Structures are given as structure tokens and as C-alpha cells.
Amino acid sequence: MNKKILVTGALGQIGSELVLTLRRKWGEQQVIASDIRMPPGAGSFADGFAYVDCTNLNQLRDVVRKHDIGAIYHLAALLSAVAEEKPHVAWQVNMDGLYQVLEVAREYGCAVFFPSSIGVFGPGTPRRNTPQDTLLRPTTMYGVTKVAGELLCDYYWSRFGVDTRGVRFPGLISHGAPPGGGTTDYAVEMFHSAVQHRRYRCFLRGDSRLDMMYMPDAIKAVVTLMATPVEKLVHRNAFNVTALNFTPEELAAEIRRHIPDFEVEYRVDPVRQAIADTWPESMDDRVARAEWGWQPDYDLATLTQDMLDHLSNHSTDRTTPI
């Protein structure tokens, strides 16, 4: 590969792991990480890092021209809970940002990866076995920007031939960079709190079942989809992908198999609970499996074991005990 890759929002939960994988695959010099935060200290992120605000067309153009970028993995966004707190900012970052990225991709012939979300679904969508092609009427600003984003990516492909691709991720669980303010963040927090404090105060009801995925599977999905020959893709920008689903009570029970005295208190946040209540319990991802061979590796038991192994070995206190 001669042309380089640009990752926007690269210091976030997904980007901080995706950049490392892409650099291992394509070479250190081939991947430019960018964000509106600066990377902490020296290290692999500080090399090959560019400050890029995705809402700034000139900054995007400059970095794409300077580094001869051939593909943009556009991860910069506000997540569901933060987007409900700041809907105007969410529109600017999630919609204006994507629009500028697509414009630059059109001008410079770049491919684009755009991560959509289970946030595209709403109260009218079937919550179990949620189909690939179904009603998309979300009730959150996050969901509105994700539905519009999927459509905009489709449009740039059909109208301008920009090679846009994307998936609808469920909640992602990882032990690296902390999640950025979503509804499914409870699952990540629960692991950290279990290891550090043996107790956790959960902001969702104990029986709130949601689709989830471990980060290594999410990274595998991105890399596999982007490597798929274009003629195999029909859906392009909005593939349902999932790996597992569980409730907070079920996750706590699985953690208790390793930490028997772990306790959870449920104190519901009505805003995030209302969001969770409109999201799928289990998506149907057969289209992704058929079109590009999607297949997750982790189930709840293997994810839990791996998370606890990592967190026990590198304990950092980033959570507040109840």
C-alpha cells in the first residue's frame, strides 16, 4: 500500500486500538493518528500524530494532501449520552464532521470507514433479532446523526463513487482507552470497578439487555470489511454486526465467577435508561456474515476472562467507588 491512512478521533476508545492494529498491518509510517486532544507524552502515538478538527475542512485537506492519504477511518464523534447533553455540538461534530470528511475524500479519492451504531434504531424497531433492513426512527440526537451519516455515506458512494464502508457497532468493551460517554459504558466501568473496588453502582436497570462486542472483534470487523473486494458488498455503510448480548445482572454474575464478593447497586439514570430501552437486545447480523465473512471470536466467558486478566495486570484507578 503506497497511500497512507488517516484516523480521526484516534485517541478514543476504538481509535487508540485501531491505530496500533493498522500500524502493525501496514507499517508505522503509513498511519496518521489525529484528534483534537493531544496524545500523552512521547511514544508511537506522538509520532505520526496530527491535530485535526474534523469540522475544519482546511485542516482535513492539509493533512490529506501533506501525507498522501488514501483512506480515512472517521472515528471522531460524540457518543449517545454526551450527545443528549449537547445536541447542538453533537450535530456539528457528527454531521458537519462527516460531511467535511466525505468532501475531502471526494476531492482526493480516499476511501472512508464510518462506524454507525445500534443507536440508529428506535422504539418502533423490533428489539429482538433486529433485522438488517428495518425501521430507523431513533429518538436521540446520536441516533439521528448516525442514520443521516449512513445515508450520506450511501449518497457519496452512489453519486460520487467514494468507497464508503461501515458497520453498526453494538456497545464495545475494552480495557484500553476509557469509553467516551455512551449508554453502554456501564459494562466497561463494571469491569474496572470490580477489579479496583469490588463494587459498582450501575446506571442502567439490572435487566437491560443490550448487544455488545469485545474490542478485538470490533477491530477485526473494521479491518476485514475494509479489505473486502468492492464487488462483494451490497450494503456498504450500515452492516449490523454483533457478538453477544447480556444484562448488567448477567455481566455481574459472570464477573462474580472470578471475584465472588463483587457487589452491584442499581441507581438508574433516566436519560441513559431511556436510550437503552430503545436499542436492540440482539441484532441479526447474517448479512455481514454472508457479504464479507463477519464472525466474532469472543463470547461472554472469554471476554470476561480476558478483561479481568488485563485489568488485574495493569490496574489503574480511573473509576470512582460507590
Q: Which of 59, 80, 125, 208 binds ligand AKB (CB under 6 A)?
A: 80
Contact 211, 171 (CB under 8 A): yes
Q: Applying CB under 6 A, which part among 52-60, 111-119, 283-291, 296-304 lies near ligand AKB?
A: 111-119
Q: Which of 55, 117, 130, 240 binds ligand AKB (CB under 6 A)?
A: 117
Q: Applying CB under 6 A, which part among 34-42, 151-159, 280-288, 294-302 lies near ligand NAD?
A: 34-42
Scan residues 163-202 and list those touching ligand AKB (CB under 6 A): 170-171, 182-184
Catalytic residues, which ones? 142
Query: Is 215 near ligand AKB (CB under 6 A)?
Result: no
- Residue 105 CB coordination number (10 Å): 26
CA angle 182, 138, 218 (to 5 degrees): 45
CA distance 244 to 289: 15
Q: How many residues does the chain have?
A: 322
Alpha-helix residue ranges (DSSP H) falling in the chain: 15-26, 57-67, 80-85, 87-90, 97-108, 141-160, 185-197, 215-227, 248-256, 270-276, 286-292, 300-313
Binding partner of residue 76 among ligand AKB, ligand NAD, none, CB cut-off 5 to 8 Å per kind: ligand NAD
Binding partner of residue 183 among ligand AKB, ligand NAD, none, CB cut-off 5 to 8 Å per kind: ligand AKB
> 94 or 100, CB closer to ligand AKB?
94
Question: To the nearest whole angstrom, how small is the minimum distance from the Cβ of residue 78 to ligand AKB?
Answer: 9
> 45 or 142, CB closer to ligand AKB?
142
Query: Is 172 near ligand NAD (CB under 6 A)?
Result: yes
Rounded to the nearest 10°, the torsion over CA 190, 195, 199, 202 is -10
Handedness of CA 44, 50, 55, 57 (dihedral sign): negative
Read off the DSSP letter of residue 11: T
Q: Which of 15, 119, 149, 166 binds ligand AKB (CB under 6 A)?
A: 119
- Residue 154 CB coordination number (10 Å): 16
Residue among 151, 188, 90, 143 nearest 280 (CA)? 143
Q: Give the residue nearest to ligand AKB (CB).
A: 182
Scan residues 36-65 and list those touching ligand NAD (CB under 6 A): 36-37, 52-55
Q: Applying CB under 6 A, which part among 25-33, 167-175, 234-242, 297-305 lies near ligand NAD?
A: 167-175
Query: Is 118 near ligand AKB (CB under 6 A)?
Result: yes
Read off the DSSP letter of residue 178: P
Rounded to the nearest 10°, the torsion over CA 68, 74, 75, 81 is 150
Q: Which of 23, 35, 193, 209 binds ligand NAD (CB under 6 A)?
A: 35
Query: Is 96 near ligand NAD (CB under 6 A)?
Result: no
Question: To the nearest whole angstrom, how small is the minimum distance from the Cβ of residue 49 to ligand NAD?
Answer: 12
Query: Is 9 near ligand AKB (CB under 6 A)?
Result: no
Helix, strand or coil, per DSSP, at residue 169:
strand
Q: Which helix (H) or strand (E) holds 71?
A: strand 69-74
Question: To the nearest whole angstrom, how small is the minimum distance from the Cβ of residue 211 to ligand AKB?
Answer: 8
CA–chain centroid gap for 80, Å, is: 11
Binding site for ligand NAD (CB under 6 A): 8-9, 11-15, 35-37, 52-55, 75-77, 79, 93, 97, 115, 117, 169, 171-172, 179-180, 182, 184
Binding site for ligand AKB (CB under 6 A): 79-80, 117-119, 142, 170-171, 182-184
